[in-house]
Each structure stands twice: as C-alpha cells, then as structure tokens.
Structure 1
C-alpha cells in the first residue's frame, strides 16, 4: 500500500511538472548539450531515472575506461563499503579506478583533482569535499571534456551531477524516532562536527527538531573528525557520562555512524542502559552492534553505501556515453530499527529481507549497461 501511494505521488508530481513545463517552457526546449538540462531539477526520484532508449553499447564506453575517485577521507566501514561499490561497478563495466584518499585535507584533495585532470582520465568521481576548495579543479575538468559526478558535495556547476543521501530526510527519520521513543521530552547529547556538507545539512534539521520538540533539551554537544573518530568519541562520551550521572541523559543523537559506535561503546562500558543512541549511516560493523543483545543503538537512518558508489559510477558512465543526467539526485533513505531486525546477525546484503525497499534501486540504469557487463564477463 505504501509503495502504491508513493508511486501515485510521484506520478502526480511528474504530471504537475510536465504541465508547468508545457505552459511556461515551450520556447526553451532547444538543442542543448546532453549534460545540461533545460531547467535545474531539485529532486529526482529513482524510479524516473531509467533510460532504455537503446540497447546498443555507445562507442565512448565500449572500451576500458580510466576513472579517478577522489575522496576527502576514508574513515570507517561506511567509506570502505562505498569504495567497494565504486570498484565493483567500474570493474563490471571493464574499466579501472584509482582511489585518491586526501586524509581530510582539502588542499590535498584539490591537488588530487588536478592530477587526475592532467592525467587525462575518462571520468572523475568526487566523494565529499567543499566547493570553495574544488570548484576551480572541476571547471578545469569540464573544460578538458572530463565528466564529473560528485557525492555529498556543495558544488553547483552546469553539467555536474551531484548526488546525496537526502541528508534532511536521514536526520528527520532518526530524530523523529528518538522523540517518539522518549515521549517528546528529556535530555539528550548531540555529537556533531561542522565542515562537511552532509553534516551541515543534518544540522539544519537538528535545529528545526529543537523547535519542534521544546521539551527535549540538549545538555551537551561535542564531536571531532579524525583518523580515530570512534575511539575519540568514546573517550569524549565517557567524560560526559561522568559529568551527568544515571538518570540525567535519555538519548544521544549521532548523525554519523563513527560517532554512534564510540557513544555506544562508552555507554555500554559504563553500564548506562537507560541511554539510547540514534544514528545515521549503516555498515556491516554497525549492524553487529545494533543487533547485540540490549544494545544502546536503537535505530539508524541510512542508505546502502555500496549502492551509493554504484549509482555514482553509473551516472558517470551515462555522462561519458553522452546521455542526459540530472543536475541533482537524492537516494531514498531508510530507517533501520533494532526491533525490525532478527536476533541472528545479518549483513548489509540481507537487510532487504527485513526493510522494505532496501537495495532495490534501479537509479542511473541504461539498457546497454547490462550488455556491457555481459560483454566484459565473456
């Protein structure tokens, strides 16, 4: 029933956009380049992004391509599973990908971007980073005819597709669950760090959340991003627990799974079973923690990190093939609650058996992709 309603909503929204476009934009539909849509689209739903116009493999992708994946950092299991998804999809298409890890150094990230452009790669993937550090390099890539697709980045340039996890929905799903579980009142700890596009977006919703639930009070806030974020978070959370004895903290909001892991470990080692943790992002390691008996981690809003990587690669190959791609694309997030999962441990590959819709995305698919994958196999 939920899926049917969702599809009906999408159809009505699409019809509305179509009618507006027919009325106001008839003269604007001219022969623009494939990667420059006639109007910027704020949100593209996964089900509307299928291109099945031809089953012939375009010449531009019918050969081994060299792809550069430039990352702001590679911390934790989310990043490792994202990289695995990127590598898997590129290899299925017969290409090769070089991963550039910038260790949270934006200047180094910009240097990696310039290196990739100068090497004349066929396409560039960017993971996180900020426009003020990377926009010049991305413009250089576009001028060189190298397509670019960014993930969780604030770059806004014509022809550059940027994808995200719909951070606003992720944050709201997790926070709303927190509020409902503590009956709309209590004391919470907020673990957060600025300087990252998805974190900034999630914080927008957190600020709205405080207005929506005035009886929920933030009593402590901290957070750092480092090579050992989970361990640093655990140490900081241990200090908070000493400052606020049993009964003074009801929940923790951790909008990054590395934060959540550290908080859970500190809470469990202190025997503070009255505190619940609500997070964002998910990995195999996170699942093991959530499924542990009496775990403090009650829910996490997430997308499949490997699927994120695969979709980003598919958009890039569509660009290389000269096919139209959206300016903005948001993946549908899912709320994974502890109570929805079985007692036995499961992996990310099995979540779809318990969370309706998980792992079923057909985003950024073209008919020729299946043929290309089969050709590479042979």
Structure 2
C-alpha cells in the first residue's frame, strides 16, 4: 500500500488525459507505476472444496431491495437464472421498492408461504428484523447479498464483500488517477444508505491518511435524487468547484454516477475523473469502450455471477446440514479502460473463467 501512496501523491502535476500511441491515457511515470500496481493484480476467489449436493424439490423466494438502481434489474434477472440452475423453483425477483416495510412484507409472505430459502439483494436485516426473526423461527435460511456492513448471524448468511476490501482497492486507484499531492476529491455520501454510509466512514479517513495534502469534500446524493433530472447537490458542486479545481469524484453506485456524467457533459466539464463503485453494466461497459472518457475513469467490480453461485452453494449446504463456506469478503477488481478487457465480458459482467464448472464439480453436476 505504501507504494501506492508514494506513486500517487509524489508528483506535483496532474496526469495528462491525452491518449498515447497504444490508446491508453498518457500519464506521468509516477502515475503509470501506481496504476500498473493497482490494475495488474490477480485475485483469488474462494471456491468451495468440500462436496455437497443440490437434492430435493426446493422453493426459493428472491427479493431485491429495489429495481430503480442502475443495472440492478439486469443483475437480478441473471441471478435468478443461476439460482434456477440448482433445479429449484425460484419466485422473483420481487421488488422491495427501497422501503423496509415493503421488503419486510415480502419476507413475511415468503415465510407464510413456507418457502425453503430466501435470497435477498441489498436488504439490511437490521431494518427488517421482525421479518428476519420470523424466517429464523420457521427454520428458513436467508442469504443476503451485498448487505455489508451487517454480518452473518444465526440463519442469515452474508455474501459479497466488506467496505475495507473495497476501499483498499478504490482509494489507491483514485490517487493514482489524480496523481496530485494536493488534489481535491469529492466523495458522494448518503447517511441514510447503510452500505454507502459504512463505505464513507472507511474511505474518507483512508483518503486523508494516504494523501494528507488532498482536500476531501463530501457531496450528498440520496435515492430521492434518482427522481430528479438534475441533482441539486451535483449542480452546486460543479458551481463551487469550477473547471480545473476538482480532480476526482467517488460515486457509490452506477445510478449515482450516471446523472453526474450527464450533468458534467452538458456543462462542458471533463476536467475531473469519476471513480465509481460496484459498477457492472452499463458503467463497466462504458469504461471498457472508453465512453465518457476521461470523465468516467474507473470502477471497482464484484463478480455478481460468483455471488449467485455462492448463494446456491450456501443454501445447498444448509439444506444438507453441511458446513457453510464463508463468502462475505470477496475480492473486488479495480478497472479502467487499460485493464477492463480482462474483467468485463460482453454483458458488462466479471465472470471468472471456469466459474460454473468449479461449482458444479463440488455439487456433483455436469455443466
């Protein structure tokens, strides 16, 4: 990590946005070294070793926190297809409407229906605790995807990553991208969103520690802003930091990045870099293809496909009484257009080579 700090903050000039002969952005030597360190990493995913089976007729209820977030509905449909490869019946994806009361109602309905398992996407158990307790009392296991910072508990199994893992990849990427010891970096915050709030509490101190000369500012963007054609907080940020005075913006999800890209381009601004979080398509595809470059500079990706197979693996092991594998600290891959080809497939997803075959092997299935 120290190498990232020295390389990213050791140069006094901002990296150039001009493209080199290879088509990659030309940068100072310090920035190039830092980016290579960040982008050339290899990641080991925690594939299971112990065999289990997916036997029996099972019914799974799949509930998503809400469909409005960018790319969420596409990921949900793909997750359902993978869940169904188990041979189980999958109801959903059901829309939790970003409202704990609606999410709790769907969980309670699944319990009353007597399903065998429940899969949740970014629904926080603490916000639907009574419904989770009813599932627990009924002996119905819950798999919760992308529910950090909450942790696994009796009958509830977390799948995804943790905010520390994300920050340890994202912050070096940001600092290498700006290549400036006194950069101004805006962090998009939302104290009402548990994932975003937890990430901010790690990201902001880490930014200040790794680049003590950087100015770190906070910009609020909430789910309510999704309904507005222009987010007032983004407009205010661009006014407060005119061209040449803002170096980077960290956005917490694609739905928060897209309106900023649109507003910046409408305002003739491409003088800062947006580093997004958890970006599948469309952000990952746009980065890979160089769309909105240099404005949309990078992202950190999870393998949503791996998460889906992990969901099946956990449920199968719970149903069989086998020891459950921990999938709550999955690696995230930092991407820019320099390395996106390695991680981003034609659908904008990170699907590791041999993913299905490796899970099917321990399940005793043929792919």
- TM-score, normalising length: structure 2: 0.76
- The residue that corresponds to 2:319 in the other structure is 320
| Contact map agreement 1:72 1:109 (CA 8 A) in 2 | yes
**1:160 Cα deviation after fit:** 2.3
Residues 199 and 255, structure 1, Cα contact 8 Å, conserved in 2: yes
How far apart are residue 351 of structure 1 and its match?
5.6
State the match for 2:29 in structure 1: none
Question: What does residue 67 of structure 2 align with?
Answer: 74
Contact 2:264 2:270 in 1 (8 A): yes
Gap change, CA 1:47 and 1:188, over 3 Å in 2: closer
Q: How far 1:87 sits from its partner (Å)?
A: 0.9
Q: C-alpha root-mean-square deviation of aligned residues, in Å? A: 2.9
Deviation (angstroms), 1:349: 5.8
Structure 1 residues 62 and 332, CA gap change in structure 2 (3 angstroms):
same
Could you tell me whether the CA contact under 8 Å between 1:287 and 1:347 is conserved in 2? no
CA–CA distance in 1 between the matches of 2:61 and 2:315? Answer: 11
Distance (Å, rounded) in 2 between the aligned partners of 1:227 and 1:90: 32
What secondary structure does 1:165 align onto? coil
CA offset digits 1:99-147 (Å, max 9, x no partner): 2211111122111111110100011112222333323322321221212
2:87 maps to which of 94, 98, 101? 94
Q: 1:151 to 1:301 in 2, by over 3 A?
A: same
CA distance in 1, matches of 2:165, 2:144: 19
The one of 242, 254, 272 equivalent to 2:269 is 272
Contact 2:69/2:255 (8 A) holds in 1: yes
The alpha-carbon deviation at position 230 of structure 1 amounts to 8.5
TM superposition score normalised by structure 1: 0.74
Post-superposition Cα deviations, 1:304-336, rounded to whole Å, max 9, x if no partner, equal 234323322332222223221146622211011
Task: Establish whether residue 135 from structure 1 lines up as the match of residue 129 from structure 2.
Answer: yes
User: What is aligned with 1:206?
Assistant: 203
Whether the aligned pair in 2 keeps the contact of 1:82 and 1:309 (CA below 8 Å) is no
Residue in 2 aligned with 1:147? 141
Q: Please give the alpha-carbon distance, in whole angstroms, between the structure 1 residues aligned to 2:100 and 2:154.
A: 22
Residue of structure 1 in register with 2:78 after alignment = 85
Tell me how far apart the structure 2 counterparts of residues 122 and 364 of structure 1 sit (CA, whole Å): 25
1:251 has 2:248 as partner: yes
- The equivalent of 2:153 in structure 1 is 157
Which residue is 1:104 aligned to? 98
Q: Which has the higher helix share?
A: 1
Give the deviation of 1:84 after TM superposition. Answer: 2.3
- Seen in structure 2, the aligned counterparts of structure 1 residues 91 and 142 have a Cα distance that, compared at 3 Å, is same
Q: Contact (CA 8 Å) 1:168, 1:201: kept in 2 or not? A: no
Give ranges in structure 2 of 5+ residues lacking alignment: 1-43
1:20-39 equivalences in 2 (<5 Å): none
- Flag the 1:346–1:71 CA change in 2: closer, same or farther, 3 A: closer
Displacement of 1:277 in angstroms is 0.7
Q: Deviations over 1:27-53 (max 9, x none)?
A: xxxxxxxxxxxxxxxxxx84363223x
- Structure with the bigger RCO (C-alpha within 8 Å, sep 6+) is 1
Measured against aligned partners, the alpha-carbon deviations of 1:330-357 in whole angstroms (never above 9, x if no partner) come to: 2211011122246xx96246766xxxxx
Between Structure 1 and Structure 2, how many residues are aligned?
A: 315
